[in-house]
Structure 1
Amino acid sequence: MPLYKRLFKSLYSPKYIAASRLLGIGKTIQYLFILSFILCLPSCLSVFIHLTAGSSPAKAIESILPSLAANEEFTRQMLFIYIPVVLLFYYILLSFGLFLKAAVFAGIGLFLISFLSKRGEYRHLFRLSTHALTLSVFVTVLIDWANWTFPYAYAADWLIVTIMLYLSIRWLPHATR
């Protein structure tokens, strides 16, 4: 199944998320990297909009790093190196965060599996939790683009993923006795 169909079906279908446990680990890792790229887009776009909106890049960097403001010409020349490096580091950090989040939710899924007496292993739950992250990532991106903030955003994020994981675990086969 193409990636865009997997993204779309993971937004609304716990049955498809449960079926995604049979995908290979390579496709799951690719899916996590795509999710982290989608999560990185609002920040990257806001950086480029901020730098091209007429505000001086030197003043923006001066407010962040006052020690670099001493040599303004050097700062302007190096700006085209700093920004891609920082954005690449941000993407790598987001990817690591999503991998860690998927691993934590796979551990939570182990408790849900034993509670619901379903059959599954950690490797299946890692794939399920990866696809359960999709709705949370898209909600986060929409909130970032709308420039909204609200309290308990992380709790709501984790609640969305937990509910999607719970609903998808319900579609797994029962454990044999």
Structure 2
Amino acid sequence: MNILAQLWKSLYSPKDIARFRFQKIGKAIGYVFLLAFLSSLPLSYYMSVNLVDGIRYMKTLLENEIPSFNIENGKLASSATQPITINEHGLTIVFDSTGTVTKEEVERATNAIGLLKHEAIIVTNGQMQTYSYSMFSNMTLTDEDVRTLLETLQSLLPVLIPILFVFIYLFTSTSKFIGVSVLAFIGLILRSTLDKNISYRHTWIMSAYAVTLSTTFFTIMETLQTVVPYAVPIHWFVSISVLFLAIKEIPSVKQL
């Protein structure tokens, strides 16, 4: 049976998952890499799109919305006489060289970027990170420097995007292997409870296929950009349930 047929049967057939325990461990490892590859595609795609759009958007802001500025001696200076606030696509951008806006005011936004008098603020999902301009005390940073940086990043996108995908894929693969290994240990407990004659090698191979249903579901949800509440508990509940049903299909010791 080829790997795609195994993926299909793993979505609905615990009995077939139980039969897969006799295959070589290398094939199961390759299957986990396939699941990691498929599940990393939506995140890689959307992060790449956001990176491209983000660079283009920042270039547009610098050209049309934000006045010329420079950061020198730990302070932001520009010709603006009042704060500039831009709200687009769920992101709030605050530019204030007058010292009027405080970081607490920027933090009230769910997602925001603030260029304030003495510091830069980034707020992501309500979590704020602050970067003081004093880090650049020995240098001068201007809007032209930022434009040059954005141009450089844009020219490097054909390289940066594949690197981003590889990073996400490696992280996803590592997480998937750790999850399968933990699930295999849970399988040993289920083995004892159900009185089945299988080893850790068997439970690991079965666990590799038992996570298919949950992985596929969350990959589809991520593709649709749909947030699933309690995602981690649901993943483990579904995976353990499928593994339990698969182990249950194995003949008991008393029946051998």
Q: CA RMSD in A?
A: 2.5
Map Cα deviations across residues 111-164 of structure 1 (whole Å, 9 max, x no partner). 000011111000000000000010011101111122211321110011000000
User: Which of 71, 88, 101 does residue 179 from structure 2 map onto?
Assistant: 101
For normalisation by structure 1, the TM-score amounts to: 0.88
Partner of 2:203: 125
Indicate conservation of the 8 Å contact 1:58/1:75, yes or no.
no
Partner of 1:7: 7
**How far off its partner does 1:81 sit?**
1.8
Percent identity of paired positions between Structure 1 and Structure 2: 33
Quote the Cα distance in structure 1 between the aligned partners of 2:49 and 2:164.
16
Indicate conservation of the 8 Å contact 1:17/1:128, yes or no.
yes
| CA distance 1:139–1:60, shift in 2 (3 Å) | farther
**How far off its partner does 1:51 sit?**
5.2
Which has a greater percent of strand? 2
Q: Secondary structure of the equivalent of 2:211?
A: helix
**How far off its partner does 1:60 sit?**
6.6
Partner of 2:20: 20
Q: Could you say which structure has the larger radius of gyration?
A: 2
Indicate conservation of the 8 Å contact 1:135/1:161, yes or no.
yes
Indicate conservation of the 8 Å contact 1:18/1:168, yes or no.
yes
Unaligned 5+ runs, structure 1:
none
Query: Taking CA–CA contacts closer than 8 Å with sequence separation of 6 or more, which of the two structures ends up with the larger relative contact order?
Result: 1
Indicate conservation of the 8 Å contact 2:37/2:169, yes or no.
yes
Q: Secondary structure of the equivalent of 1:12?
A: coil
User: Which of 40, 55, 58 does residue 57 from structure 1 map onto?
Assistant: 55
Task: Report which stretch shifted further, 151-160 or 68-77.
Answer: 68-77
Q: How many residues align?
A: 173
Quote the Cα distance in structure 2 between the aligned partners of 1:120 and 1:72.
57
Alignment of 1:24-43 (within 5 A): 24-43=24-43
**How far off its partner does 1:175 sit?**
2.2
Question: Quick one: which amino acid aligns to residue 36 of structure 2?
Answer: S
Map Cα deviations across residues 2-54 of structure 1 (whole Å, 9 max, x no partner). 111101000000000000000101111110111001101111222344456xx
Quote the Cα distance in structure 2 between the aligned partners of 1:56 and 1:112.
48
User: Which of 150, 158, 171 does residue 80 from structure 1 map onto?
Assistant: 158
Unaligned 5+ runs, structure 2:
60-112, 114-121, 123-130, 132-140
Q: Secondary structure of the equivalent of 2:253?
A: coil
Task: Report which stretch shifted further, 42-51 or 135-144.
Answer: 42-51
Question: Quick one: which amino acid aligns to residue 25 of structure 2?
Answer: I
Quote the Cα distance in structure 1 between the aligned partners of 2:3 and 2:194.
30
For normalisation by structure 2, the TM-score amounts to: 0.62
Q: Are 2:244 and 1:166 aligned?
A: yes
Quote the Cα distance in structure 1 between the aligned partners of 2:178 and 2:41.
20
Quote the Cα distance in structure 1 between the aligned partners of 2:41 and 2:12.
22
